[in-house]
Structure 1
Amino acid sequence: MQVAIFCYFLFLFLGGDAAPAADEVTYLPGLQKQPSFRQFSGYLSVADGKHLHYWFVESQNDPSSDPVVLWLNGGPGCSSLDGLLTEHGPFLIQDDGVTLQYNPYSWNKIANMLYLESPVGVGFSYSDDQKYVTNDTEVSMNNFLALKEFFRLFPEFSKNQLFLTGESYGGIYIPTLAERVMEDASLNLQGVAVGNGMSSYEMNDNSLVYFAYYHGLLGSRLWADLQTFCCSAGKCNFYNNQDQNCSARLSDVQDIVYSSGLNMYNLYAPCIGGVHQRYSIERGELVIRDLGNSFINHPWTRLWNQKLRGLSSLHLSVRLDPPCTNSTPSSLYLNNRYVRAALHISPKALDWVICSSEVNLNYGRLYMDVSKQYLKLLSALKYRVLVYNGDVDMACNFMGDEWFVESLHQQVSQTQSQVCRPLCADLCVPTSVCRPLCLRWRFRGVRGSTMMKTVGRLAASSKSSTTSPSSL
């Protein structure tokens, strides 16, 4: 018994200050040369038998002192490995679905990057009971517990600065997670950053109609009808207007934006795969191309969601494909048995897909606006907050996020005790917020960029400097 107790405490001693050796990725298929930095992949177990898959890549600069940056993709229900393999990870998947190329603008050039597949049911994350109905509150708690578990497994990073980042529906995930993290003194939270995020459903809906009109997508007759039926006293309500004529015209707007062949993530780029309907039956599989985040308060949207749930219950196979995207290379790579083995993927995990239809269709959207969470962060006067947008993305457009930032009524102050710098570089949009702002709070627009590409262009804009997340 004494030997057993000794071995137990020896195990705690040896394993208490180092990363879990079993999770280290020692060989990653698809690379001509294995990386010089360490990386880990495994599971963070949270409440009630839920297991969130993570992929952690150490900084190429100085892992011991560089910040830890959490990244969450949106959806809801889409995998953060899409961010790793196609946006700002150290490796970019090639069209053959086999080869990886190093990314010269990877965020792990200056930070330790933690990619978390959340919620449970997304990507390689799974639940023992295989039940994947969830909501914003449960997800924020599970993400918080996952962070706690991560730092338990990697205690050597617990003193590093922590930043929470994400895009799209990450605009909900990140502030609601930050609200929990800022209450835990053991987590060294320094700030948050959200790109093309869903900050307010109301402002996103209202701004989308203006965005579409002023980009020449809506005809003069439709615009006149929208002004007649949706507006009064100089103010338009495209969000929850109960006028049936208004709702009908907004249905036309949604068809133009989402179902006419336009690329909702990059207005000026072709739509990969051509024009598709919002759903189709392909070889007995129901394919859905709508993440369900726009005009959610209108009757036809509720009927549409009911129809989708009904159709999904009739099909054994349902696939959720964001429009105008090609996830085939990533799917081929991540479902390769050698890759799964290298990443220590559980046999209980499903095949990897970019977005989970089950999670998305059954997701409980509880936060229509996250101003409360942002104001709580800002009132603490110690966290850096960055909201950044590409200007050609329609899913979560720059105008809605700029309105959201302005609605928080944060005074711009420049005192000698605060370090401020101009935001306007070559890539910045010269808007009213493109001026010297204090580092605590800023909105940044990136010209000619999108939800998926803004992160890379931000990295490229600082490639010749030693910019760190703490200076964003």
Structure 2
Amino acid sequence: LPQLGSILLCALLLAASLVKAAPSADEVTYLPGLAKQPSFRQYSGYLHVGQNKHLHYWFVEAQSNPESSPLVLWLNGGPGCSSMTGLLTEHGPFTIQPDGTTLQYNDYSWNKIANMLYLESPAGVGFSYSDDKNYATNDTEVAHNNYLALKEFLRLFPEYGQNSLFLTGESYAGIYIPTLAEWVMQDASINLKGLAVGNGLSSYEINDNSLVYFSYYHGLLGTRLWTDLQNFCCSQGKCNFHKNPNLNCTLRMEEMIQIVEESGLNIYNLYAPCAGGVPGVYRPPGGKFPPLSQSLLQTLAAKKGLHLEPPCTNSTASSLYLNAPQVLKALHISPEAPKWSICSSEVNHNYNRLYMTMNDQYLKLLGTKKYRILVYNGDID
């Protein structure tokens, strides 16, 4: 009987270790810039994908009841932009201050109710890297690698394996999230409950066509240009601003896009000041598009080249903070990682976009009648 008791005790201890098995080497025990260290646990390190890719993650536990709170994956867009922007300037537990050294707690942090996993993807973005430094990739490869990273996270943190999972993101995550969900929904071991995409790119055609109406109804276009767009791009009550063979339509669209791009207005909040708001501050991301599928906006973007900094943003504070030696040490950043920047020109320029719409992905997800799906957009961006 004593021997049986010892066996049971060992079994219980083993079970307990499996329930709480977060990698202690990744725990952030001291985060520079905070007046007071947080009461919740946080982890930063790498999720190793395939044979040579290392995706940086920063995981913050929910402020209360992390064991039962949902797990939320967050991806920023680009393609090629860092999810640290989401953590430090949007809905993370800390907000970077203009001095680039100080963090303040965010009253509206999502980790008040959820365990937040911020992933820098694909390799080459932020602190993520590849051993061979080859950062050419595409939508299909990124979706699979994000799935593998999620599986690796759940292997390292098995205590969250049964928590409700939500996949979320913004901008080009309108492609990342549904394509990732296709992988996750096939894996019965993952408790996927839903997804949310904010201001996401889900259709180039809808994106291009809606931009014209947005611009006109927000007072950016004059009557003459609006009338010309209607005359040259519309027929029988339907307008095609996306891929119109009429040269006059193309010329008017170029004029319209120039107004939107080079006005110095804040495209993320039309009524807010624009950081660095000068003509020509914005150059839409380049990237490789499928032949014969280039919309007018994509073609113009390729002509005008690449600008790293998203329009009307100032990432100086985030860059100063994340590249500080004491922060690199606190977050366990590999010496092989690139210097942090808000977006990677190399990733963006070598990114092959394979999807023009997410219709099939959403129909597949909705057809299961299992998932909660939120697609939300601002009215002034």
2:340 paired with 1:343: no
Match of 1:265 in 2: 268
Match of 2:322 in 1: 334
Q: Deviation at 1:298?
A: 4.5
Match of 2:249 in 1: 246
Note if contact 1:43-1:52 (Cα within 8 Å) is conserved in structure 2: yes
Change (3 A) 1:74 1:234: same
In structure 1, C-alpha distance between the alignment counterparts of 2:27 and 2:105, rounded to whole Å: 19
Match of 1:27 in 2: 30
Note if contact 1:200-1:369 (Cα within 8 Å) is conserved in structure 2: yes
Match of 1:218 in 2: 221
For 1:135-183, what per-residue CA distance to the aligned partner results, in whole angstroms no more than 9, with x for missing partners? 1101000000000000000001101110000011111110110011000
In structure 1, C-alpha distance between the alignment counterparts of 2:200 and 2:167, rounded to whole Å: 13
Aligned counterparts, 1:312-391, within 5 A? 320-391=308-379
In structure 2, C-alpha distance between the alignment counterparts of 1:97 and 1:153, rounded to whole Å: 31
For 1:280-330, what per-residue CA distance to the aligned partner results, in whole angstroms no more than 9, with x for missing partners? xxxxxxxxx322499x83468536525638xxxxxxxxx601111011000
Q: Deviation at 1:206?
A: 0.4
Note if contact 2:274-2:312 (Cα within 8 Å) is conserved in structure 1: yes
Q: Deviation at 1:276?
A: 3.7
In structure 2, C-alpha distance between the alignment counterparts of 1:263 and 1:253, rounded to whole Å: 16
Match of 1:396 in 2: none
In structure 2, C-alpha distance between the alignment counterparts of 1:308 and 1:212, rounded to whole Å: 23
Query: Which secondary structure state, in structure 1, belongs to the residue aligned with residue 305 of structure 2?
Result: helix
Note if contact 1:290-1:320 (Cα within 8 Å) is conserved in structure 2: no
Number of aligned positions between the proteins? 363
Change (3 A) 1:381 1:304: closer
2:51 paired with 1:48: yes
Q: How many percent identity over aligned positions?
A: 70
Q: Deviation at 1:387?
A: 1.1
2:236 paired with 1:233: yes
Match of 2:285 in 1: 291
2:299 paired with 1:302: yes
Query: Which secondary structure state, in structure 2, belongs to the residue aligned with residue 390 of structure 1?
Result: coil
Change (3 A) 1:292 1:222: farther
Query: Which secondary structure state, in structure 1, belongs to the residue aligned with residue 30 of structure 2?
Result: coil
For 1:384-418, what per-residue CA distance to the aligned partner results, in whole angstroms no more than 9, with x for missing partners? 0111122111xxxxxxxxxxxxxxxxxxxxxxxxx
Aligned with residue 259 of structure 2, among 242, 256, 259: 256
Q: In structure 1, what residue type is equivalent to 2:318?
A: S
In structure 2, C-alpha distance between the alignment counterparts of 1:89 and 1:301, rounded to whole Å: 32
In structure 2, C-alpha distance between the alignment counterparts of 1:173 and 1:348, rounded to whole Å: 25
Note if contact 1:42-1:54 (Cα within 8 Å) is conserved in structure 2: yes
Aligned counterparts, 1:55-454, within 5 A? 55-277=58-280, 289-292=283-286, 297-298=294-295, 301-302=298-299, 304-305=301-302, 308=305, 320-393=308-381
Change (3 A) 1:192 1:111: same
Query: Which secondary structure state, in structure 2, belongs to the residue aligned with residue 164 of structure 1?
Result: strand
Note if contact 1:247-1:298 (Cα within 8 Å) is conserved in structure 2: no
In structure 1, C-alpha distance between the alignment counterparts of 2:274 and 2:129, rounded to whole Å: 32
In structure 2, C-alpha distance between the alignment counterparts of 1:15 and 1:333, rounded to whole Å: 35
Segments of structure 1 that go 5 or more residues without pairing to the other structure are 1-11, 280-288, 310-318, 394-472
In structure 2, C-alpha distance between the alignment counterparts of 1:93 and 1:83, rounded to whole Å: 11
Q: In structure 2, what residue type is equivalent to 1:233?
A: Q
For 1:83-142, what per-residue CA distance to the aligned partner results, in whole angstroms no more than 9, with x for missing partners? 000000000000000000000110000000000001111000000000111111010000
Change (3 A) 1:298 1:114: closer
Note if contact 1:195-1:389 (Cα within 8 Å) is conserved in structure 2: yes
Q: Deviation at 1:14?
A: 8.7
TM-score, structure 2 length as denominator? Answer: 0.92
Q: Deviation at 1:258?
A: 1.2
Q: Deviation at 1:43?
A: 0.3
Q: Deviation at 1:274?
A: 2.1
For 1:310-355, what per-residue CA distance to the aligned partner results, in whole angstroms no more than 9, with x for missing partners? xxxxxxxxx6011110110000000001001000000011110001
In structure 2, C-alpha distance between the alignment counterparts of 1:301 and 1:21, rounded to whole Å: 45
Query: Which secondary structure state, in structure 1, belongs to the residue aligned with residue 352 of structure 2?
Result: coil
Query: Which secondary structure state, in structure 2, belongs to the residue aligned with residue 48 of structure 1?
Result: coil
Query: Which secondary structure state, in structure 1, belongs to the residue aligned with residue 377 of structure 2?
Result: strand
Note if contact 2:203-2:356 (Cα within 8 Å) is conserved in structure 1: yes
In structure 2, C-alpha distance between the alignment counterparts of 1:303 and 1:215, rounded to whole Å: 22
Match of 1:408 in 2: none
- Give the CA RMSD over aligned residues: 1.9
Q: Deviation at 1:48?
A: 3.3
Query: Which secondary structure state, in structure 1, belongs to the residue aligned with residue 361 of structure 2?
Result: helix
